[in-house]
Amino acid sequence: MTTAAAVIVAAGRGQRAGGELPKQWQMLADTPILAHTLAAFRVHPGIGQIVLVLHRDDADRAGPFVDARTVIAWGGADRAASVRSGLEAVQGMDRVLIHDVARPLVSAQTISDVLEALESHQGAAPALAVTDALWTGNNGRVTGTQDRTGLYRAQTPQGFHLGAIRDAHAAHPGGAADDVEVARAFGLDVAIVPGDEDNLKITLPGDFARAERILRGRDGH
């Protein structure tokens, strides 16, 4: 398996999650969310370097999370700027996985699947096919339905060849939903690998309880 760097984007403020701290510093089963996310990549044999992208306001919290394979990069005005900062900090690797810190339950299998797909594609990312009926709505009323054929729910980590995704970000005008959109705008081929329902993104207060249930299930409690 090819060794890659992991850029973990953790510079956001996460206000929708509630709480006094940005969500990456809030506790999930008595451990900061950020620590869970870091651990998933640190134990994976395919990850040779981790770049943790932080907000400068969180500089005094960074110390315990730096080790021989982990470096800090500082976030920018938006997510794209933070990703670019993280990409520039990667050294000695030609492939990179970009991951949202708010997905602390990413599995080793998902990381491996993305890395394997990069052997034959310029980019790869996990996603789940949409299976629910889709509606359009306005003012609390259903206004129509939407065909779900070919629709997917995107997840991270999103993996790329480092030089290609650096060039893609440099050329992009901004406003992309994620790094796959940036890559495709630059003409890169991005493969879909199987997503994982447990790889949820903690966004709202209720997501903490769901994540803790998943953790308890993994621990057999």
Angle at 194 between CA 98 and CA 209, to 5 degrees: 75
In the chain, which ranges are E strands? 4-10, 27-28, 31-32, 47-54, 70-74, 95-100, 123-129, 134-138, 141-146, 152-154, 158-161, 190-194
- CA torsion sign for 7, 10, 11, 14 is positive
Which pLDDT tens digit goes with each residue over 78-87? 999 999 999 9
DSSP string, 169-221: HHH--S--SSHHHHHHHTT--EEEEE--TT-----STHHHHHHHHHHHHHHT-
Whether residue 221 has pLDDT greater than 70: no
Would you say domain 4-219 falls under CATH 3.20.20.140? no
| Under 8 Å between Cβ of 144 and 133 | no
pLDDT of 160 reads: 98
Which pLDDT tens digit goes with each residue over 18-48? 667 889 999 999 999 999 999 999 999 999 9
The owner of tokens 């709202």 is 204
pTM of the model: 0.95
Q: How confident is the model at residue 181 (pLDDT cuts 50, 70, 90)?
A: very high
| Under 8 Å between Cβ of 124 and 179 | no
Which pLDDT tens digit goes with each residue over 51-79? 999 999 999 998 888 898 999 999 999 99
Domain spans in the chain, listed from the N-terminal domain onward = 4-219
Distance (Å) of CA 127 to CA 150, 161, 163, 180, 203: 11, 19, 24, 11, 18
Which pLDDT tens digit goes with each residue over 100-151? 999 999 999 999 999 999 999 999 999 999 999 999 999 999 999 999 999 9
Residue 63 φ/ψ, nearest 5 degrees: -45, -50
